[in-house]
Each structure stands twice: as structure tokens, then as C-alpha cells.
């Protein structure tokens, strides 16, 4: 039988993995041998394991974590699933590269304080940027003890700018595509400056907006009018990590909703009152069953087959308004998982609301 199998050394040569790596993936349960000699402990592999081993080697070279490699092997015959795993890892790599570039830029200014910080110039649609601001403005924090959250993050990417705001209980993000000239950079603008910038975007019909973004200042120009905004001197939370933690898996339920209908139900429906940090909050109870999503009565008892989620009523109304669509999609996982509000036609604009335990 051994003549029909490959030794661990032979598999290492044809796959690009080292012998020690093959032993590691065996111990991890990712790529187990077809046969292990009970006396010598030698590992033997079949020809059918060459392709999976080569896949593991490739994923290892691009830094895929062990859990991702295991998932890729399980789904290697499912192109759509495997493609999604690869896309997710590529986004992580791109995010890490952008973060590294920003950090290197900061380090250079520390080494040579006289070095002028790099700036990046963007040309983008005035209306696209206005829509992005409107999509996140409601989530800006107002707690004086958390001044880092009292603004909107402008995170410049290779082909656009992503806007992010959070007050710890909700997070909103949106994106505007742009022609970008310069390195990745980010700036945290105070909410008053964001409102001034937003007012500027309502001027100059058909005009493009021009942004010059540096670590300390953002200059916006529309139709010859200019607004300068000095950034807040804080490190904004890692919104990518927050989103990964809040939305780590595909949601259990994706529910299309009519905004006007849901808004009316939220406005007229009963609420629960909850105390938090010395303030009273109105909690709407959402119920999802086979018939769809509805706002439950405050005293309606739990029922079998109904997913119940409590959410701050005003926060959800704000998210519906910021969605700026007749139809939105709510994503729910259960009573203690974050609730996401998405635009069905824009994967980059959505908000995440933390649930309130009922």
C-alpha cells in the first residue's frame, strides 16, 4: 500500500510546504495524512491530497490565518464560498496595508518633526459626499467624556473616502468614490466642522468637490468656496475591527422593510422605558416570525417562533431617516446581537445598532 502513497517529504516537495508545516497542519486537523504508520509514526498521503496541500501553501504565503485555511479547504469545491473567503482576506490585507502606511507617515514626522505631513487630494461628486455625510451624521457621539467620538472620521482609500461615526451604541459608515492623488490618510473632523462642510456641499449646482486631506486639516472646495476644518487630536477607534466583531458572520435574518410603514409603527407603537447612565430611553420591541417584521406591544409576552429584539426607538428612527430610501434591509441575529440597517443598493452605506436586553 505504501507504494501507492506519498511520504511527507514527497508531499512537501510537490506542494511547497515544509515537512514541519505539514506536521503542524496535521496536528491542527487541517490536513491530516491518509495513513500514519503505528510503529514508526511516518505520515503518508494520497495523490488526491496534493491539490489541497498546494492550496494550503498558497494561502499560507499570503498570510491567511489558520481558521481561514481550514474553511477554505472545507469549501474548496464551492467557488462562491471560497471566493468570498479570499475577498474577505484581501480586504483585511488592504486594510492592514493602509494602516501601515498611515503609521509609517506618522513615524516619519516623529523622526523629523520638521518634515511636512503628507496630504492627499480628492476629486469627487458633491452629491455623493453629501449623501455620505447624511448617512453617518446621526451616529456622532455627544458624551463630553468621550471627545474622540464627537466627530466624523474621513478615512481616505485608494479610490474614495469612507466616513465613519459612532457613539458606542450605534455605528454608521458610508463611502464616496473619488479620484485620489496621494497616500492613504485619515482625519477626524469635529461635528461642527462636518456640518459646515455639509452646508458647502449644497452650493454650486453640478460642481465637483475638491478635498485636501491631511492628518490635521481637511480643506473642502466647491465652486470656488472653501471650508477649512481642523481635525480632532485623537485616535479614532478601529472601525474595521468593530464591524468585524459586530458583523462577523452572515446574518440569520435579512428582512426587507418599507421605511414609511416601519416608521409609522415605531412612532405610534408602545415602548418600554429603560434606565441607562442616568437617562431614560424608549425601547421599541421588534418581533420577527414567518409573517414578517412588526413592532410588538410593550406588554406582549414572548411567543414560540418569534425572534424578539429590543432597540432604542429614537436610534432606529434616526437610522431609517439616514438610510434615505423607501426600502431598507434589516439584518437580525437574535435578541443580543447587533442589528444592521442597510441600503439594498449600496453595500458601503449602513448602520449598526446595539440591542437592548429585554
User: How many domains are contained in the chain?
Assistant: 3
The reply to whether 138 and 60 lie within a common domain is no
Residues 219 and 320 in one domain: no
275 and 318: one domain? Answer: yes
Q: Do residues 229 and 128 both lie within one domain?
A: yes
| Residue 112 lies inside a defined structural domain of this protein | no
Instruction: Quote the mean pLDDT of the chain.
Output: 86
pLDDT, average across residues 323-335: 84
Same domain for 180 and 199?
yes
The pTM of this model reads: 0.67
Q: Given this model, what pLDDT does residue 199 score?
A: 93
- The model's pLDDT over 216-271, given as tens digits with 9 standing for 90+, comes to 789 999 988 899 999 888 888 887 766 665 565 666 788 899 999 999 999 988 88
Residue 157 in this model has a pLDDT that exceeds 70 = yes
- Kindly state whether residues 135 and 231 are assigned to the same domain: yes
pLDDT score at 2: 45
Q: Is residue 20 situated within a structural domain? A: yes
SS3 16: coil
Is residue 86, in this structure, part of any structural domain at all?
no
Q: Which three cell numbers stand for residue 279?
A: 437617562
User: Could you tell me the three cell numbers for 201?
Assistant: 456641499
| pLDDT, tens only, 23-40 | 999 998 999 999 998 888
Residue 179 lies in a domain: yes
183: pLDDT strictly greater than 80: yes
* Among candidate residues 44, 77, 110, the one where a domain is terminated: 77
Res. 336: pLDDT tops 90? no
Nearest in space to 153 (alpha carbons), one of 110, 107, 200, 193:
193
- Residue 264's pLDDT is 92
Q: Does residue 110 register a pLDDT over 50?
A: yes
Residue 269 in any domain: the answer is: yes
d(CA 115, CA 157): 23
Q: What is the pLDDT of residue 123?
A: 94
CATH number, position 46: 1.10.1660.10
Q: Is residue 12 part of a domain?
A: yes
Q: What is the pLDDT of residue 25?
A: 92
- In this predicted model, which residue has the larger pLDDT, 102 or 30? 30
Q: What's the pLDDT score for residue 1? A: 41
Q: What is the pLDDT of residue 247?
A: 60
Least confident of 35-39, 274-278, 331-335: 274-278
Q: Residue 10 gets which letter from DSSP?
A: H
Domain containing residue 344: CATH number: 3.10.150.10
Residue where a domain terminates, one of 53, 77, 101: 77
Q: Are 169 and 260 within one domain?
A: no
Q: Containing domain of residue 148, as a range?
A: 120-238
Residue 316 in domain: yes
Mean pLDDT computed over 45-50: 92
> Domain boundary residue among 176, 211, 238?
238
Same domain, 230 and 131: yes
Q: If residue 285 lies in a helix (H) or strand (E), which one and from where to where?
A: strand 279-289
Clarify whether residues 129 and 233 are in a common domain. yes
Supply the Cα-derived Rg of the chain in whole angstroms: 26
At residue 122 the predicted structure's pLDDT band, cuts being 50, 70 and 90, is very high
Rounded to 10°, the helix 8-15/19-27 angle is 110
Looking at the structure, tell me whether residues 191 and 289 fall in a common domain: no
In a domain, 102, yes or no: no
The reply to whether 68 and 134 lie within a common domain is no
- By mean pLDDT, which of 60-64, 247-251, 334-338 is the weakest? 247-251
Give the closest residue to 163 by CA, choosing from 204, 122, 203: 122
Helices and strands: H and E segment counts in the chain:
10, 19
User: How far apart are alpha carbons 291 and 305 in whole angstroms?
Assistant: 11
221 and 255: one domain? Answer: no
Amino acid at each position: 500500500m505504501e507504494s501507492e502513497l506519498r511520504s511527507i517529504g514527497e508531499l512537501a516537495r510537490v506542494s511547497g510546504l515544509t515537512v514541519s508545516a505539514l506536521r503542524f497542519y496535521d496536528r491542527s486537523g487541517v490536513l491530516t495524512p491518509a495513513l500514519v504508520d503505528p510503529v514508526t509514526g511516518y505520515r503518508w498521503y494520497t495523490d488526491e491530497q496534493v491539490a489541497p496541500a498546494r492550496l494550503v501553501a498558497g494561502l499560507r504565503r499570503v498570510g491567511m490565518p489558520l481558521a481561514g485555511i481550514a474553511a477554505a479547504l472545507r469549501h474548496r469545491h464551492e467557488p462562491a464560498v471560497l471566493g468570498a473567503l479570499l475577498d474577505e482576506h484581501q480586504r483585511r490585507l488592504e486594510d492592514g496595508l493602509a494602516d501601515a502606511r498611515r503609521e509609517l507617515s506618522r513615524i516619519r514626522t516623529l523622526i523629523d518633526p520638521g518634515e511636512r505631513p503628507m496630504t492627499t487630494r480628492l476629486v469627487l461628486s458633491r452629491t455623493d459626499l453629501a449623501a455620505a455625510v447624511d448617512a453617518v451624521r446621526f451616529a456622532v457621539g455627544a458624551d463630553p467624556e468621550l471627545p474622540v467620538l464627537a466627530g466624523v472620521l474621513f478615512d481616505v482609500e485608494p479610490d474614495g473616502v469612507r466616513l465613519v461615526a459612532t457613539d458606542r451604541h450605534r455605528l454608521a459608515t458610508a463611502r464616496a468614490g473619488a479620484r485620489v492623488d496621494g497616500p492613504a490618510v485619515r482625519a477626524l473632523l469635529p461635528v461642527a466642522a462636518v456640518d459646515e462642510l455639509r452646508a458647502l456641499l449644497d452650493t454650486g449646482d453640478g460642481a465637483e468637490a475638491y478635498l485636501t486631506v491631511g492628518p490635521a486639516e481637511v480643506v473642502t472646495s466647491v465652486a470656488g468656496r472653501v471650508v477649512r476644518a481642523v481635525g480632532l487630536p485623537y485616535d479614532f477607534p478601529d472601525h474595521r475591527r468593530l464591524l468585524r466583531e459586530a458583523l462577523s458572520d452572515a446574518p440569520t435574518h435579512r428582512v426587507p422593510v418599507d421605511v414609511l410603514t416601519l416608521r409609522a409603527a415605531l412612532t405610534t407603537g408602545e415602548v418600554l422605558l429603560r434606565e441607562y447612565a442616568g437617562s431614560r430611553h424608549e425601547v421599541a420591541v421588534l418581533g420577527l416570525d414567518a409573517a414578517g417584521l412588526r413592532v410588538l406591544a410593550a406588554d406582549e409576552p414572548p411567543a414560540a417562533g418569534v425572534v424578539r429584539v429590543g432597540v432604542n426607538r429614537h436610534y432606529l428612527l434616526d437610522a431609517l431617516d439616514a438610510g434615505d430610501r423607501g426600502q431598507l434591509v434589516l439584518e437580525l441575529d437574535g435578541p443580543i446581537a447587533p442589528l444592521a440597517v442597510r441600503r439594498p443598493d449600496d453595500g458601503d452605506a449602513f448602520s449598526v445598532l446595539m440591542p437592548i436586553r429585554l
